[in-house]
Chains A and B, each alone.
Chain A
Amino acid sequence: MKDKARPTHYFLHGIRRALEGLLLCAFTVTLSNCVTEDTFDNNNKGNFEALWRIIDEHYCFLDDKNKTYGLDWDAIHAQYSNRITESMKPEQLFEVCGDMLRELQDGHVNLTASFNTARYWDWFERYPVNFSDSIQRKYLGTDYLYTQGIKYKILPCNIGYVYCPSFEYSFGSGNLSAIFSHLAVCTGLILDIRNNSGGQLTSAQALAECFINEKTTGGYICHKTGKGHSSFSSPEAITLTPAEGIRWQKPVIVLTNRNCYSAANTFVMYMKACTNATILGARTGGGCGMPFNSELPNGWLVRFSAVPMYDINMQLTESGIDPDIHVDITTSDWQNSTDTMIEEAIKRLTATGQ
């Protein structure tokens, strides 16, 4: 019995020693390995530094904008940190922080406090509006059909007209099939996305997938893998898969203006890859970086572009996408309540149908 017991005794003794060592090691590691994040104090300087660092570590276009127009984020820090004093009121701090963010020239970048939202809206405010809902009403009337935010009807010339003002809604295949089923008798389709400032990428993709018959690369996407300005993953293809419901097989003209932004800009990027689609109107607003949120120690919310998307030629569409046919609403048409873009689209689709 003794011979049998000895190896077991030594084995158990060994386990006990190992456990003692493990516990000692565990306590040592615990004390030295708490996961925390360096944060800034909730004062003017601290909040400014926190904002600058969030953009420095997370914003995805710093390198690209450095090449495009010479944006130097370190120089921006030097320039704006001099304006920060502890005696500033929150409104004054907000103004300086907002000015600094405007250097990024990005509509997806916002700073939100309870009293204001800092924004960069030059991407559409400095350009022709090219859309009027009053003029649109002349074409759309009041007898249009309406589902998931989409208004649609058959125009007198047997052209289908679909107005999609937002991608905030989730489109089911049932919604989209119902629309295209109703418009099936039409000879062509006008898909108007003017003033669509974005929403869900999945909705933009679902709509684009109604215009393809085989798997198509719509663009590329990547993301930051670390804090460095050039730390990105390899771009991966965004594959559009043909919709399961009714798909549009006839010509389609997509109407755009400068206020097509974010997911609407991405939709245009996808439609550029569709063979029977023509983009008509004005250059889109851009916004090809999916925005993320973060916050400052004082609670102000920061929004910034985080996930860049590229077109099929691996070009960023951050500054917008040019239409295939450039058309602006003319001054005389404004005065006559005529939508130049819709008229031009009808003319082209009618000619194609004949």
Chain B
Amino acid sequence: MHKVLTILLFLLIPILSFAQENSVNPLSLRSHSTMLGIGSNNQLDTYLSPLEYTGTEVRFIQENIKPTRLLSGRVSMQNIIQANFSYTKSPTKDSKYLSGLLDWSLALHYKWQITPALRIMAGPQLGMHGGGIYNTRNGNNPAQLRLALDINASGLAVYQFQLFKRSIEARYQLDFLLAGMVFSPEYGQSYYEIFSLDQGKHNVCFNSPFSAVTANQMLTLDIPLGTAKLRLGVENVIRQTHVNELKTHDWTWLFLVGYVKQFSLIKPQHER
């Protein structure tokens, strides 16, 4: 009897969670998601090599979305932390790049409920990035420090639809750099001059779409699975700079898999 009840409970979980979702205003939901991505990476850094390196990237993404009280509660805050590691090779496989980067971004999104199933969100985003890229063959120019501060425009389109009696949420997000600051050595400047002799000048540069486009696109599908949701998606990261006559690009395509947990904070009755 116990076993039958347990099986019934498992079968009912998706239905119960769906019913629970519908009873709560989706705009007031908090959402925590964790994703792991793997995919291809194309890197160029003319300080290290004029050639493009290609290989594999692994990325860990943690996203938190929570509602705010701004503009009658129509603004939500999105906090994303990403950590990635990539291993790429030169066209002839003689040389390798090892790179690691930590990204943090914070966005405020205003929501427009276009139709009951479709909502659009847009707003400003602040991003910070830090890490480095190491060339396994070079002598005095073996690595590049990556530091950047971005001000982005961020937009999302969220569409809910039914498939196999399940409410599936499709989401597309685009973050586009409007202006930012990046660290870069000068064209032929050594890190010995910058750090050992403390002669760093012109190393903090202005970055904008007019010098190099930087954007992040993510398309995900959230499929209810028990009390959580399974998230499948793809991410395209384009990070580029063209400053101090040096060019860099990181073009990444990733397949994402992860889970999403949504919940709503309910205040105790005596505090309402």
Contact = CB atoms under 8 A, between A and B. Distances in A.
Contact of B240 (A12, A35, A205, A292): A35
Interface string B129-170: 000000101111100000000000101000000000000000
A39 B140 CA distance: 23
A35 B188 CA distance: 19
A223 B137 contact: no
Interface stretch (B13-21, B99-107, B190-198, B259-267): B190-198
Q: Which size bracket describes the interface of A in this complex?
A: 35 or more
Nearest to B74: A12
A128 to B, nearest CB: 29
Nearest to A221: B193
Interface string B232-258: 000000101110110111000000000
Nearest to B241: A35
Given A16-B112, A295-B94, A295-B95, A26 B153 contact: yes
Nearest to B239: A35
B238 to A, nearest CB: 7
Contact of A299 (B90, B140, B176, B209): B90
A34 B52 CA distance: 13
A252 B192 CA distance: 28
B197 A292 contact: no
Interface stretch (A62-70, A71-79, A224-232, A326-334): A224-232
B192 A29 contact: no
Contact of B139 (A58, A202, A291): A291
B212 A221 contact: no
B187 interface: yes
Nearest to B135: A293
A50 B50 contact: yes
Contacts of A221: 193, 197, 199
13 contacts: A22-B153, A26-B174, A26-B176, A37-B44, A37-B247, A39-B50, A223-B187, A224-B188, A295-B94, A295-B95, A299-B90, A307-B189, A307-B190
Interface of B: 44, 46, 49-52, 90-95, 110, 112, 122, 135, 137-141, 153, 155, 174, 176, 186-190, 192-193, 196-197, 199, 201, 209-210, 212-213, 215, 238, 240-242, 244-245, 247-249
